[in-house]
Structure formats: structure tokens, C-alpha cells
Amino acid sequence: MRAHVTVSWPEEPLPALALPADLLMERLGGLWAPLADAVTENGPGCLWALRWEEGAGWQVLSVPPHDAGDGPVAETPGSRERDAWVVASALAEIAFGRRPRDLADAYDLLDLHAGTVLGLDAVVHALFSGGNPAQVHAVVQPGERVPVLVRAAAETAVGSGKAGYDPECDNEDSLMVARIGGGVLALGVCDGVTGSGDGSGALASRIAVREMRDVLTSGGDVMKALAAADKAVQQGTFGASTALVATLAPDGTAELYSIGDSPAWLVRRRRRGGRIAFRLTPDQTVLAEARRTDPDASIGGSHLTQNLGGKADEPYRATIEVQPGDLLVLMSDGAAIPDHGWFGLELAAMAEAHPTAPALAAALTARAERLGGRDNATAVIAEIHATP
């Protein structure tokens, strides 16, 4: 007869992470020193887990191989990637409520929950790309609020793969740049949902932009503008549209409102040169909703759960602080197609090469065409400067 042995612990040897998601980025700065100490002491590839306790802060469990002997173990192929996975999966569990299954799932979670923990996507990608996550974390942290001057530029393109040679219907994207009360600048992108080829998507986005501009320039707030646009789209067309709106105040406060899947990003200068980018808004699609809990979900595709035209009751909202040197980038999804890897790395590199709003807007639409021009591509970009 085979014996069975059961071992039980009076408490978990490593308690569950108990750090609230809304405090993660604020507390994350305290992780880097104990993490570096653990790797220095035991060598790369020895990280097992992280824990957080109020009062004790971050604690790192690092266990070298049983035959390692004295001193840190030598680096082996994949050891630093294993350490990065331990850290990234723990941060994802804190931020999003579940541990990712694999690296692809981790990256999906960062996109699906974009804006929930601002800048975490840039930190995690730095972990896996050999960058310096501590430096990236410091850059994405809010700085001191200062008065700013905002200039904007926009560019839109049909896309050769999308064109049906009907100028009234080919471009289903519409955009808005408007000065409203109190020196506030309002930016907007609406991406009409492609219908049966009757032009309803193009009409819906144009109606939406017109209504939003009228409400905002008449003193109404963004929520009233979105409600008016939703009603006008329902009454004026059988189509539907996304809506992405940002308002930028002279004190550096930016408010974001998103309905659908048009993404917003922030590009920020590194203190030692270069730039980083992080996403500000999540997709509101059937597939995105399903994959937040099930990494194998495949239903729904890009079908929107929120759109102007009858389903605009739950816009995503966020408030951020912009800094001089920032670029706030609003796009239709056709301008944000990833090519090789994470779009944030490409966007940061493009902003470094094209650091002004007009140049970056043009570069983004040109890039979409180089990638096949399969969709309309629109970019509306705010360039943030210090007030003279």
C-alpha cells in the first residue's frame, strides 16, 4: 500500500498581495531597491515571488538553487526573463485582479485595462525589453502641476486599402480641435462604424463631431456634448461611431472621455534622453470585455460595447496631469496598428524622431499607409509647453 502524506500550514508562507490597485504606482518606487538587492545577493533567475505588507513594504522571495554554494549564481540564458516574469505577473495580479497565464496574456491585460494603473504598461515592457523599469516608473509618476501652453495639430488619411473611391464615404474618421471657455482646448476623434457601404459610418462621425463642437463652444461640458452627439447620431443616421475627447486646461489638467476603441496615449520625455509612451484608454469591445477574465476568449472581435448611436451610457473617464514636453496623442484605431511588438515602443521612437505635433500626426498616418492602409487613420495631437 502506498502511503499518503498531507502537509498543512497554519498560514500562507507567502500571503497574497494585499496592495490596492490604486496605490500600486505610488508604492512601486519602494520595490526597486529590495529587488536589486535580491538579484545581487543570489544572482539572476532566483526570484520566486513578491509580497506587500502595510508597514513592512515590499518583500522579495529569492531562492538560489540547492547546489549553488556561496555567492550569487552565474547568469544563464533566460534567467533575467524569468525574474521579469515574476515581477510582471505579481504587478498584473495587483492591478487587474488575476495573474496572467503567459507573456502574451500579460501584454493583453495591460492593453485591456489601459489607464487603470497609469503607466504600468511602460514599466512592464521595460522589464522585458532590458530597459530600466525604475527610471520608467519615475518618469510616468505625476510631477508638480505647472501652467502650460497647448498647441495642437491633426492629420487624417483614407488608407489605400480602405478606399472605395467615394469621397463622401471613404473616410469614416472625423476630428475636432476647438478652443472653449476658460482657455481650455478640446480635442476629439470619432471613428464611424463601417456599415453596409451606404456611408452611414462616415455620416455618423461627422454628425457626432459637429454636435460635440457646438455644445462645447456654447459652454456645455463633455458629458452633455457626448449625450447630444449620441442623440444626433441616432436621429440622423442608421450608423454608429466611437468618440474620444480630451480637454486640456491651462493648469495642466487633462480630462479624457472614451466611447468605443479609439485609443489615447501620452508620450513623455525621459530625464536622460529619449521618450516613453503609455496608453490612457482601454478598448470597449466584446472581445476586450471577455478577455479581461478569460485569456482564451475569441468571440465578438471588434464589436463595440459602447458607441455613439444608442450605446453611449458608460464612457470611460480619466483625469491626468500633463507636463511641459508631453505629447497627448488621440487616434482612430487605424493609426495605432502595432507592427512589430508593442505599439508604445514604436510611438515613443516616432515621437523622438518627429517631436512636434504636426510632424508626429503626419508620421502616424503615413505609417498606417505603409502598413497596408487597411483602415482610415487619424491622429490629433496636443503639444504641451511651459507657459512663457
**Which pLDDT tens digit goes with each residue over 69-96?**
777 888 999 999 999 999 999 999 999 9
353 phi, psi to nearest 5 deg = -80, -25
The answer as to whether 8 is a domain residue is no
Residues 175 and 226 in one domain: yes
The answer as to whether 2 is a domain residue is no
- Map residue 122 onto helix, strand or coil: helix
CATH of the domain at 328: 3.60.40.10
* Model confidence at 53: pLDDT above 90: no
Provide CB contacts within 8 A for 370, sequence distance 6+.
Answer: none
- Map residue 286 onto helix, strand or coil: helix
Cα gap 329→154, rounded to integer Å: 10
What mean pLDDT comes out for the span 37-60? 91
| Count of the separate structural domains present in the chain | 2
Residues 127 and 74 in one domain: yes
Residues 163 and 115 in one domain: no
Helices (H), the chain: 24-28, 32-42, 79-96, 103-112, 120-128, 133-140, 200-217, 222-236, 286-291, 343-353, 357-370
Give the angle subtended at the CA of 206 by the CAs of 204 and 212, to the nearest 5°. 100
Residue that terminates a domain, selected from 140, 162, 177:
140
The answer as to whether 10 is a domain residue is no
Residue that terminates a domain, selected from 140, 162, 186:
140
365 phi, psi to nearest 5 deg = -70, -35
Residues 136 and 159 in one domain: no
pLDDT band at 367 (very low <50, low <70, confident <90, very high): very high
Residues 94 and 201 in one domain: no
Provide CB contacts within 8 A for 196, sequence distance 6+.
Answer: none
Residues 227 and 352 in one domain: yes
Residues 45 and 182 in one domain: no
Sign of torsion over alpha carbons 155, 107, 34, 68:
negative
CB distance 220 to 209 below 8 Å? no
The answer as to whether 266 is a domain residue is yes
pLDDT band at 10 (very low <50, low <70, confident <90, very high): low
Residues 330 and 223 in one domain: yes
Q: Quote the mean pLDDT of the chain.
A: 92
Residues 127 and 192 in one domain: no
279 closest CA partner among 40, 84, 113: 113
Residues 154 and 126 in one domain: no
C-alpha cell at 196: 453596409
* Model confidence at 318: pLDDT above 90: yes
Cα gap 261→32, rounded to integer Å: 34
68 phi, psi to nearest 5 deg = -70, -25
The answer as to whether 207 is a domain residue is yes
Please state, in angstroms and as integers, the Cα–Cα distance from residue 240 to each residue in 124, 160, 335, 378, following that order. Answer: 35, 23, 19, 17
* Model confidence at 194: pLDDT above 80: no
* Residue 115, number of CB atoms within 10 A of its CB: 21
What mean pLDDT comes out for the span 126-143? 93
- Per-residue pLDDT reduced to its tens digit, 221-250: 999 999 999 999 999 999 999 999 999 999
The answer as to whether 300 is a domain residue is yes
CA 201, chain centre distance (Å): 25
pTM for this structure? Answer: 0.93
Residues 120 and 167 in one domain: no
The answer as to whether 5 is a domain residue is no
Cα gap 94→99, rounded to integer Å: 8
Residue that terminates a domain, selected from 140, 156, 178:
140
190 closest CA partner among 278, 284, 261, 88: 261
Residues 219 and 244 in one domain: yes
Sign of torsion over alpha carbons 339, 344, 347, 348:
negative
The answer as to whether 13 is a domain residue is no
pLDDT band at 183 (very low <50, low <70, confident <90, very high): very high
CB distance 121 to 110 below 8 Å? yes
Q: What range defines the domain where residue 76 resides?
A: 21-140
pLDDT value for 40: 93
